């Protein structure tokens, strides 16, 4: 298989994938595409339209007909990008617990995955993309020159997510964040199509207790090695 000069970063929620991807993309001058945004956008659009989330065909139609735009932002409210769904700014709306609680259900439908995977693959094949998700190394872009599977313990990931939530002024408890993270892991790992798992040739990195600078250095050195075919 001919290698493509794009990087796949997979792993469970809050393992540090987005932070690593942002640093890598900045360092290399690559496009950073977080595919979780697309699954969240479809879930949000379906909820807004009153679609029954148990109806796979209806959710698939939403995935096929929703225009998702991810753009560099001029806002200063902490958002990494602007997310537009059918031209409406939904950057924060897709991060709300309502979407978070349902996204694994919608992301498990084959039709939804087909529609989004097609778009992601087209972008990734152009090269010079850091793509973040659950199935990038296994399904979307198996040709990626480097595949990272970034892991961390569920307690550490829940603590990170809990701190983010507190900064946003949320009343959610650590116990409830931990519980919903466990449920989401379980759904993402157990689904029949494109389950969360490392690709055979992925580099598995555990981020527990490690700094981003440290992980970035390791990733860049792995990239050098892969580029030289070692």
Residue nearer to ligand DC on the CB measure, 23 or 40: 40
C-alpha–C-alpha distance, residues 109 and 149, integer Å: 23
Question: Do 77 and 64 contact (CB within 8 A), yes or no?
Answer: no
Residue nearer to ligand DC on the CB measure, 143 or 188: 188
Residue nearer to ligand DC on the CB measure, 21 or 215: 21
DSSP state, residue 155:
H
DSSP string, 17-29: HHHHHHHHHHHHT
Question: Do 9 and 218 contact (CB within 8 A), yes or no?
Answer: no
CB of 182 to ligand DC, least distance (A): 12
Which residues, 6+ apart, have CB-to-CB distance to 132 below 8 Å?
9, 10, 17, 18, 21, 32, 33, 34, 35, 36
Among the listed residues 14, 19, 16, 21, the one whose alpha carbon sits nearest the alpha carbon of residue 157? 14
CA dihedral 4→224→202→218, nearest 10 degrees, is -140
Residue nearer to ligand DC on the CB measure, 17 or 203: 17
Q: What are phi and psi of 54, to 5 degrees?
A: -85, -5
Give 172's Cβ-side CA count (13 Å radius): 22
CB of 137 to ligand DC, least distance (A): 10
CB of 36 to ligand DC, least distance (A): 2
Residue nearer to ligand DC on the CB measure, 86 or 183: 183
CB of 199 to ligand DC, least distance (A): 13
Residues of the shown chain interacting with ligand DC in the complex, contacts defined by CB under 6 A: 13, 35-36, 39-40, 103-104, 107, 133-135, 184, 188
CB of 114 to ligand DC, least distance (A): 12
Local structure of 168: helix, strand or coil = coil
CB of 228 to ligand DC, least distance (A): 28
Residue nearer to ligand DC on the CB measure, 36 or 110: 36
């Amino acid at each position: 298989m001919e290698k493509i000069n794009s990087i796949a970063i997979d792993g469970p929620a809050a393992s540090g994938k987005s932070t690593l991807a942002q640093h890598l993309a900045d360092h290399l001058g690559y496009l950073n595409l977080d595919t979780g945004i697309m699954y969240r956008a479809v879930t949000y659009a379906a909820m807004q339209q009153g679609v029954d989330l148990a109806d796979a065909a209806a959710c698939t139609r939403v995935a096929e007909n929703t225009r998702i735009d991810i753009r560099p932002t001029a806002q200063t409210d902490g958002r990494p990008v602007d997310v537009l769904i059918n031209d409406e700014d939904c950057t924060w709306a897709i991060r709300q617990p309502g979407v978070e609680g349902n996204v694994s259900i919608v992301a498990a439908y084959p039709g939804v995955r087909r529609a989004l995977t097609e778009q992601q693959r087209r972008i990734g094949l152009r090269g010079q993309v850091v793509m973040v998700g659950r199935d990038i190394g296994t399904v979307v872009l198996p040709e990626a020159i480097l595949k990272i599977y970034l892991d961390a313990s569920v307690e550490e990931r829940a603590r990170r997510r809990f701190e983010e939530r507190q900064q946003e002024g949320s009343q959610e408890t650590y116990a409830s964040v931990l519980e919903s993270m466990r449920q989401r892991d379980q759904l993402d790992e157990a689904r029949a199509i494109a389950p969360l798992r490392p690709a055979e040739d992925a580099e598995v990195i555990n981020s527990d207790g490690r700094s981003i600078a440290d992980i970035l250095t390791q990733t860049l050195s792995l990239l050098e090695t892969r580029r030289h075919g070692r």
